[in-house]
Structures are given as structure tokens and as C-alpha cells.
Structure 1
Amino acid sequence: MEQVAVSKCDICKEDIGKVFCYECNKILCQSCTSVHEKFPATKRHTVTDSHSVDRSSLIHQLVCKHHNLEFAYHCRCCECLICAQCVTSLHMGHSITGIAEVAATARGDVKKRLETIKDSTKNLSDLIEDFKTTKQTKLQTGTDNFIKEVNEVSQDLTRIIESIAEINLTHASDFLVFEKQQLFYNVAKLNKSYSEYSSIQERYERILKDKHDVTFFFNQTSLAKEFDLLDDIPIPEEPKEIEPLKRDVMVDSVINKIESKYSTKLFFYRRFCLFTPELNEALKPRETKGYLRSAVNLNLSSETLLQENHLVSVGIQIGREESGCAMSFRDKFEMDPCNVFLCEFGSYGCYLTQKIPNSILLDSDGNLVAFGQNAEDQYLKLLEGENHQDVYFFKQFTKDIPELLVQFENDCLEIGELDIYNFVVKTFDRKKKYPAVWLLKSFIDFYVDHVLHKIDVKWISTTDVQLVVTIPPYWNRSMRNLISRAAELGTIVTSDPEAVSLYWKYLSEKNTVDKRLHLFQPERKYMVVNCSGDAIDLTCWMVEEDKSLTKLISTVTVSEDLVISEGFKKFIVSIVGENVYSLFCIQNSYDETDMLKSFEIRAMHFQGNLNAENLVRVTVPVYLQEQFKEKLDKNNVYSQRFKLQAGKIQMDSHLFESLLEKVITTVVNSVKEILKVPDVMDTSFIICSGRTMELPCLRLKMRETFQGINIIEIPELDEAALKGAVILGHYPKVCFKRIFYRL
């Protein structure tokens, strides 16, 4: 409580005030207080020790401002203090109570508040003390321990680095000592030879000055013998230069020591894989399944192996680089045969994809860990963390299997023993081998499991599913046999052109296509042009009298010129250089993929250079934008034909079309070459399929070049083979004679 300061008496102005009178509002000394108590008018006033008076009480008016009389009552209606005269005037009729009663109630309330305040004050005091002592001590101790651990780890890391550095420095020092010794030894040998040659040189020069012929003759004879005994001039080995420091090895040594000391693993993570939750769930290894399938030999020799009316047909298209799957239910097929569900595998970057790379990651026991782009990303993490030794990783392995299988069969023929289960393929790092049939089994299992996770497996059994695998037409019988062994009983293995033809058959009937465009008329010949990735398959068929098909010719061309984005990649390389682009690909593989896909998307909507002023925009990563600004000069052939703006390359339509020229030319020339074969010169139809054939400018070029042939452009060209495979699954007997017309 704030107290009144020590002051003189307000009456006598001489002695120190001891008492305060509330009614008089004065401080009185002891003498004046005695006089104050004797006067009748003041002897009933309330006085107290002046030192205990709250200074704030002095500001309150203690008498009624209307009548200048002391407050004696409290008006409950007006909630204020009043004097005796107010009772009969201003507050007449109000509820009145004595001031003593009101003050007593107020004192009780104050006492309760005081207890609460005391408790709060006690709590605050305890908190302050706790924060000043315990909390502060804990804070200081924790920080000190953290700093101590940081210093300890820092010292440990420093010692580890210094120890590895010392090993390398010792190696350098030992190398220098040894090579110096070798160098000094060689110098000593050279000095010895030099002395010998110098000595005989001086003596030859001396005898040449001898005028006496006999003496000269004997001396030169003697010197000639010495000369013949001289050793050839030694050619010492060049001093070895110390090999450049292998920084990655040194860093790995440091990392290994750190891992050993702290029992941890250091991984260098890249951007996360953008697959859907459904796919990520499908990629997880499962210990038990209600629909386990067994791998058996499917070398179909009897029509009885195939059954009609399966509830579900599942199609898997295996390509050189990518694969995909699709399915349909029997009831949906009967309503619309072309209504096929294409399985999507999430997205990579910002693009949805229905096909994923043929890459697979297995653990040490051969269990599936990941598939597609997810497998490539996970293996990269394991590789960066040096934890890849116990896994089996195969990157787009279907590219090489057909050629490897042919070589395997040739080797087996030489020894007279052929067992397909002995055919193995090497892992990506070329250090381990794995049976091809079991690898393909894991491959097919992934797709079937993925489809079965899309439907209610509680009421679907494997006997209700017909599996159809479609493959490139140039894969031989042995490759089909290998896939059959890896698949389940009753699996159909067909080729992409066959599946495309079947899909077109149903699609043409569904859309009531002009009968003149029906392929399946006797003696008609047609060609299926299937182009995706870096390969183009050309297969020609002839329809026989019984409506069956005879394959006339089948060829395949593999070339990087067939890759849609290859021209754009070369365009980028021509500006920034091969080294810069290679470094960009290593450090920013995701950005490269997104950039090339961005170009591919633009290409799929590009209608040709109808207007050269139209600009085509392709997104490029920031890294390449900076390189463009540094590398591009006015002498570059492209400098006037494009510009960078808002993170995109803006180029005129002529330049954009020129980047697709190689693809268009390669496809058209391939078709031209096969049409030169006598048996197929009178081909009347060309069916286009595959991702590359979706290019509008390519289809336009095909129509311009082959005006005498009907060019059939199936909707969704890249999906035609998959849809045909699913249709075939609902009519499996057709695979025996290919009588598509009679379905």
C-alpha cells in the first residue's frame, strides 16, 4: 500500500504529523490531536495513524457535494453514498442502508480478494523462483551439454577426416620417397654411362691428334674393343606421377568411418517419387495373398486349355522400354467391347502415365521391392548410400533379353542341352545374375496384383481371370515360351499387331465404319505400323478365304532418331554443349524428364508450320536457362529463331517442326522400304498405333506420302494394343486361327 510521506502538522505547521483525520482531511501532530478530540464537533471524527493511510484515499470526496455533510448512508438504488439530508430530498423513497453495514460487507469481499491475491502472489513468487533457479539451471545445463556434444562430434569428425587425410598424405609421402630413390638410382646409372662415354670420347679425340700412323692404329684398335664393351645407353623408366586423388573414395572412407563410429547410415535423398497411394501400396511386398499364382509352362497345344466367359480379362503390354496393363469385366465387355479400363500409375513430374519403365528392384531373397520409376529411384538411393550390394536391380531389362536369349540358345545347341530355367540375366551393376524366368514372373505378378487391387478380390479368384500378354512382333518363339513359363496356366501370348487388328475390328463395328474400310475381306492386305520409344514395328498381314490371317512380313527398326524428344535434346546440346548437358542430366534427372515430356506434349498438339509467326513454348529448367544466356552467341544457327521468356523457350513453328523431322523421316522411310517388297506392294490399308504415331504432323506426312493407301488412325493410338489384348481375353480361342471376322 502506498503510504503518506512524513510531513508537518497541517494545523500548527511545526511538529511532525502523527494522526490523519478522514473528516477534516488533515494530518495532526500529537498536541493538535488532543485539542481535536475535545471539541464536540470533531471528537467523533475517524482518525488513524498517518503512516497507514493509503494515498489514493485522499482523492475521494468524504462529504456530500450537494449538502456539504458527511456521508452517513448508502443508496442501494443509485449505488452511491449519501448524507442525512439526501435521504429526505434527492434519494427520498429509495432503499437506504447504513454505511457501517455496507462497509462491513465490502470488507468481507476485500478479505476474500486479498486471500486470492495472496495465493496468486505466492504462485508468482514460486514461478519466479523456479525460472530463476531450476529452469535457468536446466536451460544452461541442456545448452552446455549440447555444445559439449557438438564439440565432441566435431572433434571426432575432425579426427576421422584427419586420419583419412593422414593415410592419403602418408601414401603421397611414401610414393615420393620411393620414386625419388628410383629417380636417383636412374640418375646414377646415367652418370656412370656418361662418365664412360665421356672418357672414351676424350681418348678418341686425343688419338686423332697423333701423327704417327702405327701408334694411332694400335690405339684405335684398343679403343674400338673398349667401345664395343660399352653398355648401351640405359633408357630408364619415366618417373611415375602419383595418381589423382579419388575424391569419392576418400569421401566414402570418411563416411564409412562415421557410420562405423555412430552406428548410422548416411543416405543422400533425391526428390520423392510422385506415384499414387494405390501404386505405392501395390509396390509394398506382401507376405500372404489370397490369390497366389504359380508359374507353369504355357506352350498351348490344345484348345481345351482355354476357357470362355471369364469374369475378368487382364491385358499386359510388354514393350522394349515400358509396359502397361488394362482390364475389363465380362458384363462391361458384352455391352461395349471397346470399353476397357486402362490402369494408371500415378504421375511422374506433372504428367499422368499409363505406362512405366521395365525396371524392377528385388531384395536378396528375390521378393519384389519396387517397380518402374519407383524402382529406379529407390535403387539410386541405395547406390548413393552404398547399400545396393544385397539387392537385384534391372533397368529396362526387356531391351536386351531377346538378343541374350538367342545367344543362350546357340550356346546350348553347341553342348546339346537346353533348359530355359538356366537362362540368366545380369543385374544393372553387372555383378550378379538372376534367372530370367523368375524375373519375368515378378514382372507379370506386379501387373496382375496391381489390377486385382483395383477390384474386389473377395469374390474374384484366379480361375475367373484370363491373362493376355502382348509383345513386340519381332520377339521369337523362344521369347514367347519364356514369357509363357513365367506366367500362369492359360495365359495367352500374342503380338502387338494382332491385338491392334482385333481392337480395330471391334471399333469399326461399334462406330459403323464404311464397309469399304473393313480389313477382314479375303485377299486384302494391310500393315500395322506400331511406333513407340526408339523402335518401330512393321507387320503386314493378308486375309485368307476362311477369314484367317497370314503374316507376310515383319520388321523392326531401332534408332534414337525415333524418340520424339531426341531432336529437341540435340537442339539443347548444340547450344549448351555435351558436357554441360551431361552434368545437368546427372544432377537434375527429374528436371530433364519433365523438360522432355513438356516438349513431347507440345509435339502431340503441334499441327505443323501453317503459320511461321506462331510461337511454340517449351518449359526449360532454370539451370539450362542460365546456360543458354552464357553459351548462346549471335553466330549460333538458332540464335535468331528462338528466345527465352518467362522460363520457356519460344521458337517459331518452322524450328519446332525441324526438331521432329528425324522422327517423321525415319517412320515414313521405314514404311516406304517395306512397301518395296513384292508380296506387300499391293497393301491397301495401314493401321497406325503407338505413342509416336499420335504426332499430328507425322500422320499428315503419312497421308501425303501414301495417298493410294487407306491410313487408319485408331483413337488413342498408344492404347490400341492393350485394348485389343483385353478383348482377346474375352474370346481366347481366336488366338488359334486369328479368325477375327467370325467373332
Structure 2
Amino acid sequence: MMRGNDSTPHDPSSESGSRLASEKSNKLMVAAIDFGTTFSSWACSFRHDYEREPTKILVKEWNSGSSISSKAPTTALIRPDGETLDAFGYDAEDKYGKLAESDDHKDWYYFRRFKMSLFKDKSLTRKTTINDEMGKKLAAIKVISLVVSYMKDDLCEEVKLKIAGAILPEDMQWVLTVPAIWNDKARQLMREAAVQAGISNKQLLIALEPEAAALYCRHIPLELKEFDGTSSIVPLSPGTRYIVVDAGGGTVDITIHEILEDGNVKELYKATGGAWGGQEVDEAFNQFLIKIFGAPVLRKFKVEAMEDYLGLFREFELKKRKVSPNGKEDVTFSIPASLLEIFTESTDETMSEAINQTQFADNVRVIKGNKLRLDQSIMRGFFDRSLRSISYHLQTFHKDQEKYGISLALLVGGYAESPMLRNAIRESCSSWKVLVPDGASLTVLKGAVLYGHDQSDIVFRVARYTYGVHVVKAFIEGVHPKEELVVNDLGERLCRNVFDTFLTEGTLVRYDQILYKCTGCRPLLSKYDYVNIPIYASTKKDTKFITNECCFLLGKLKVTGLDTSIACSQRKVDVIITHKGTDLHVYATDTRSGRELDAFIDLLD
């Protein structure tokens, strides 16, 4: 807690508070990790290549056994000790399947698509656990750090094979991607997991996925393909306002940008979105299977025949990408013998009999005893919930053209390659030009590499919340509520629990802008060599007290290393909070000596 008369808020809109400077990296290489819900990968580029040809980026190639892919499933197989990553991606899927065949898998940890846990859990801590496919728990930060460590080591090994001489750790700038709609706690957990994985905090940047994708799109020709077969190149010129729809496996991130006269970018509206990604389509298919076979059968199938279970959903993953709004061909799935066996033993029914008791009786047929043939209407139906959510949300921005002035939509991410999603956006937002860049699934990853080379491209961002600190101020009769009145041991009448705003929700924040200054902050007790300043956030613009329902504790600004040899009254600290890129940054100095102190914002318990 701080005394209010010791703090000096800074006007966020003041130009004098900006210390914008070129943020181009001087590192020899930038390495980016796109940690996705469904798929992940890494990419990198050297500074000399970036300066000559920014889009010359090396992307990892993964061997799936039958083909080469630029991304691998976000799947981690951890040994029974809970400490050692044994395999990742396709290798993890294959090995776990073999372990399950011999019934040796029960003590192993097998995590798939676990990233969404960080989005759903609003009270993340360093002890937050996540469940593997069999319900066993491990700390989320441990699982993420093991995966990041694997990706880091894999990247470094491959780079060694491609160049003569080693790249030293201090010569590398690392970038980790996160959804723009994630809260501050989730971002910090990802950062700390990366640090645990061996990446220096000073050499780590967090890139917001839709921003990274938009950055890459500005470096490539954007071809607009019309329904009549014609195409044209659409430039992102100054004055253009566009919406970025980053549609991944888990979340759909939506941001709105405007290109300024100097070529830089201003965010026009805070990031929005939801859990409407491709995983929603997978869940609809899962519910379809439950209606036919029953939930107990599916659970037993997953436990006893994991390899077949994964194979069935891998087949669906491939076939859902080809579903189109006007498609007429039926889609056939091979049902694993293990599922049929469990189903027959559990129900004494045939698949045909089970289907005839559902709403799918007219649109799903059994072929050759072990295949399901689905009408295209059923396949399109799996997309309904996801597409409705996305379209409804986008229409908010489409309808108010006067306010947002959007002329085109950049559709990126793995889900962007679905014809169903493209068509849904074209139909619901008919006045927008919808652009899907080639290789849409890699735009975030490649854009993260570009962001690592130069972070100053986006010069204005919009605050998602109203931020403030917990202070005590002199009590003013008729202004402050009596229930907040306290009298200290000096007889001073004070108002407690005051929310002292330093950044208002919806405010444009310039890169590296000073948001708050606190001069003369003191420890609460004479024995303390540190200062803790509680930072709060609010969902409303006009928040007066931290006790308001709309207000929540974001974390604590901690300053350590104060000199305890001097009197507590002289042990004062000057603190500055700035907004740098995607995070709040803090600088602290000893008021008397001017010595820089260790300071950080801790959002996790």
C-alpha cells in the first residue's frame, strides 16, 4: 500500500511521457516458438537475412511418418517421474500409442491440447495444475517449460547443422507467442515457464498472435480472390483500417489496426475473441460419436485403445479441412475394430441400430460393417457452433462502419484454411474484403520472428482494463465514504482502499510510454528492505475503490534491495511504470543515491 500524497500519476496521453525509440534487435539471430493449442512449431532468421529479405525465415519441418509438416501436434509425453519429457509431437503420439498397446502407459503423463487450460483458468498461480488425457495432474508451468525446453534445444541443434560455428546464447533473441485475449497472469506464466526452460528473461519477448500475423502480412503481397475466379493484390497502405481474425485450434483472437502515415500501426480496439477455434469443431464430432456409441463406450475406448482413438481424430482433422459450404460428396470414416468390439460388448447393438435411434438416421449410413458414411450436411453441422460465435462477434464491428471504418479482414491461423470459416465471414460481413494469405497457418510464427527483429512497429495499443494502485489518501468529508475512514497513530484521518487509476480501459497507449510515477515510496515496516505496491485492474473506467465488484487484484509491484542501515523514513524509492510492447515494465531507483534497484511486477502467487 502507498500513501497517496507520495504518488504522482502521469497523464497517459501526454506526449512528454513517451520515450519511443527504435526497438530493433542487435542480436545475430531471432528464434520464435509458436506454442499453439493444437499445433506448434519454431522458426528463426539471421539479422543479415532480415535486413536484406525480411521474409527469409527458416521454419522447422516435422516428420509425421507419412509426410512432412511445418507444425507438430502440441502433444507431450512425460515419463512417470513427472520431470522428464520423453517425446513431443508426432513422436509422442506414436510412442504413447505403443505404450498403450502393451498396457504400459498408465504411469506416464500424456498431455494434448492443454494450452486452453491457461485461458479458462482466471486464477492462475505457479502451482496451478493441468490434467493429462487420463486425468493425472502436473503443474502447468512444468509441462509448458518442458515443451519450450524441447523446442529451444531442437532449434539450436538444427541451427548448428546449418551454419559453420556456434551461435552463442547471448547472440539470440527469443520470441514466444500468446493469444491477445489471454490475461496478464497467463502471459506471465508463459514467460516464467520459458525462463525455467533456459531462456534468459532479458532475451525473451512475448508476441501477441494476431499482431505477429498482421506484421508478417505487411511484408508479403496480399492476393484477394473473388468468387468469379478473378484476383487482385490489395495493398495495406496508410489510412487502411483492417481487422485481424487469428483463428487457431483453441481461440479466435480479433484485433483492429490502422496503418499510420509513417507506416507504423495503431491498435483501434482492445483485443477480443473467445474459445471458438477448430477445437470446437472437434468437440462437435466427439459429441456426434457419443450420441451413437454412448459416453461410457467412448471413455473405455480412449483408455483401452488410445492409439486407435488418436487415429480416429487424426482422420477427422484431415477431412474437416476439406468440408466446404457447397460440397456434395459424402465423407467416410473407418471405425476402429477396437471401438466396435467395446461397443458390441457393452450394448449388444449394431452400429446401424444405434444410428437409427438418433437424429442422424437419414444422413449417416454404415458401409461394409466398419465404416460410417456421413452426408455433407452432417459434416457442415460440426462447424455450426464455432461459426455462429465468430460471425456474431464480427458483426458487432461490421455493423458500425462509422465507428470502426474497417475495409478488409485478414484471416490467419490454421483454422483460416477452412473454406467453411472463410465463407461464414464473407456472408456475415459482406462489405469487407476477406484476405487469406498463402500459408495462413504459419503467419503467426513467421510474424513472431519479424517482431523479434523490430518491436516498434505497433506504436499504439488499446488498454484492455483500467489499471490502478492501492493507496491511502487524506479523508475528505462529503467526498469519501465514512466506512473507508481510518485514523492512524498520528491522528491523521485517512481514506483507505482508494483505487488510484494510472491507465483507463480503452485508452491508446504509446510504445514505451510512462504510465505512472511514484516518488518517495517507503516500506511499511522499518525491518523491510523492500516495497510492495499492490496493482489492481478493473473492468470499468470509473473505479474509485479496490473493494468495488468490478475490481480485482492483478499482482504486486515489488522493489527489493533497499538499504536497511538507514532510517525507514529515509528509505525511499522512485518507481516508474511504462507500457513496453505487450507488458507493463517497471523501473525503480533509490531516491537518495539514484541507485537502480531490482523491480518487477509479480502477477502469480
Q: 2:219 aligns with which of 482, 506, 509?
A: 506
Matched residues in 2 for 1:387 and 1:580: separation?
19
Matched residues in 1 for 2:145 and 2:378: separation?
46
> Aligned with 1:708: secondary structure?
coil
Residues 551 and 589 of structure 1: is their aligned pair in 2 closer, same or farther, counting only changes over 3 Å?
A: farther
Residues 514 and 554 of structure 1: is their aligned pair in 2 closer, same or farther, counting only changes over 3 Å?
A: same
- Contact kept in structure 1, 2:175 and 2:206, CA below 8 Å: yes
Q: 2:207 aligns with which of 490, 494, 499?
A: 494
Aligned to 1:723: 446
Deviations 1:218-252 (A, max 9, x none): xxxxxxxxxxxxxxxxxxxxxxxxxxxxxxxxxxx
State whether structure 2 residue 468 is matched by structure 1 residue 468.
no
Matched residues in 1 for 2:178 and 2:131: separation?
23
Q: How many Å apart are 1:709 and its aligned residue?
A: 0.6
State whether structure 2 residue 274 is matched by structure 1 residue 557.
yes
Aligned to 1:615: 330
Aligned to 1:537: 253
Amino acid at match of 1:648: K
State whether structure 2 residue 600 is matched by structure 1 residue 600.
no
Q: How many Å apart are 1:636 and its aligned residue?
A: 4.2
- Contact kept in structure 2, 1:370 and 1:378, CA below 8 Å: no
Residues 720 and 386 of structure 1: is their aligned pair in 2 closer, same or farther, counting only changes over 3 Å?
A: closer
Amino acid at match of 1:493: I
> Aligned with 1:400: secondary structure?
helix
Q: Structure 1: give runs of 5+ residues left out of the alignment.
A: 1-300, 409-422
Aligned to 1:666: 389
> Aligned with 1:508: secondary structure?
coil
State whether structure 2 residue 294 is matched by structure 1 residue 571.
no
Q: How many Å apart are 1:534 and its aligned residue?
A: 3.6
Structure in which a larger fraction of residues adopt helix? 1
> Aligned with 1:657: secondary structure?
helix
Matched residues in 1 for 2:105 and 2:424: separation?
50
Q: How many Å apart are 1:449 and its aligned residue?
A: 0.8
> Aligned with 2:220: secondary structure?
helix
TM-score when scaled to structure 1? Answer: 0.49
Residues 604 and 371 of structure 1: is their aligned pair in 2 closer, same or farther, counting only changes over 3 Å?
A: closer
Residues 602 and 736 of structure 1: is their aligned pair in 2 closer, same or farther, counting only changes over 3 Å?
A: same
Matched residues in 2 for 1:359 and 1:538: separation?
28
Deviations 1:598-618 (A, max 9, x none): 22322212333354xx33233
> Aligned with 1:456: secondary structure?
helix
TM-score when scaled to structure 2? Answer: 0.58
> Aligned with 1:319: secondary structure?
coil
Structure in which a larger fraction of residues adopt strand? 2
Amino acid at match of 2:450: I
Matched residues in 2 for 1:692 and 1:520: separation?
27
Residues 718 and 561 of structure 1: is their aligned pair in 2 closer, same or farther, counting only changes over 3 Å?
A: closer
Deviations 1:200-221 (A, max 9, x none): xxxxxxxxxxxxxxxxxxxxxx
Matched residues in 2 for 1:635 and 1:407: separation?
43
Residues 562 and 538 of structure 1: is their aligned pair in 2 closer, same or farther, counting only changes over 3 Å?
A: farther
State whether structure 2 residue 408 is matched by structure 1 residue 685.
yes
Deviations 1:393-416 (A, max 9, x none): 8665533346657455xxxxxxxx
State whether structure 2 residue 126 is matched by structure 1 residue 426.
no
Q: How many Å apart are 1:661 and its aligned residue?
A: 2.8
Aligned to 1:307: 25
Deviations 1:606-637 (A, max 9, x none): 333354xx332333323445755363364544
State whether structure 2 residue 372 is matched by structure 1 residue 649.
yes
- Contact kept in structure 1, 2:64 and 2:90, CA below 8 Å: no
Amino acid at match of 2:155: V
Q: How many Å apart are 1:724 and its aligned residue?
A: 0.7
Aligned to 2:243: 527
Matched residues in 1 for 2:305 and 2:46: separation?
42
State whether structure 2 residue 360 is matched by structure 1 residue 638.
yes
Aligned to 1:450: 154
- Contact kept in structure 2, 1:540 and 1:552, CA below 8 Å: yes
Aligned to 1:712: 435
Amino acid at match of 1:500: A
Deviations 1:84-129 (A, max 9, x none): xxxxxxxxxxxxxxxxxxxxxxxxxxxxxxxxxxxxxxxxxxxxxx
- Contact kept in structure 2, 1:313 and 1:468, CA below 8 Å: yes
Matched residues in 2 for 1:701 and 1:427: separation?
34
Amino acid at match of 1:556: G
Q: How many Å apart are 1:671 and its aligned residue?
A: 1.7
- Contact kept in structure 1, 2:223 and 2:234, CA below 8 Å: no
Matched residues in 2 for 1:378 and 1:699: separation?
35
Q: How many Å apart are 1:435 and its aligned residue?
A: 8.7
- Contact kept in structure 2, 1:528 and 1:539, CA below 8 Å: yes
Matched residues in 2 for 1:483 and 1:578: separation?
34
Q: How many Å apart are 1:573 and its aligned residue?
A: 2.4
Aligned to 1:344: 61
Matched residues in 2 for 1:541 and 1:638: separation?
44
Amino acid at match of 2:438: P
Matched residues in 2 for 1:461 and 1:324: separation?
22
Q: How many Å apart are 1:695 and its aligned residue?
A: 1.1
Deviations 1:503-531 (A, max 9, x none): 110112799x9998333423x32211122
> Aligned with 1:564: secondary structure?
helix
Residues 320 and 302 of structure 1: is their aligned pair in 2 closer, same or farther, counting only changes over 3 Å?
A: farther
Structure possessing the higher relative contact order (Cα contacts under 8 Å, 6 or more residues apart): 2
Aligned to 1:37: none
Residues 375 and 650 of structure 1: is their aligned pair in 2 closer, same or farther, counting only changes over 3 Å?
A: closer
Amino acid at match of 1:600: E
Taking the TM superposition and a 5 Å limit, the aligned residue runs for 1:176-187 are: none
- Contact kept in structure 2, 1:315 and 1:327, CA below 8 Å: yes
Aligned to 1:629: 351
> Aligned with 2:203: secondary structure?
coil
- Contact kept in structure 2, 1:305 and 1:490, CA below 8 Å: no
Taking every aligned residue pair, what percent have the same amino acid on both sides?
20
Q: How many Å apart are 1:731 and its aligned residue?
A: 3.3
Amino acid at match of 1:464: D
Q: 1:327 aligns with which of 44, 53, 56?
A: 44
Deviations 1:291-314 (A, max 9, x none): xxxxxxxxxx99698633x44321
> Aligned with 2:291: secondary structure?
helix
Matched residues in 2 for 1:471 and 1:690: separation?
13
Q: How many Å apart are 1:595 and its aligned residue?
A: 1.8
Aligned to 1:171: none
Deviations 1:576-602 (A, max 9, x none): 222222222222222222222222322
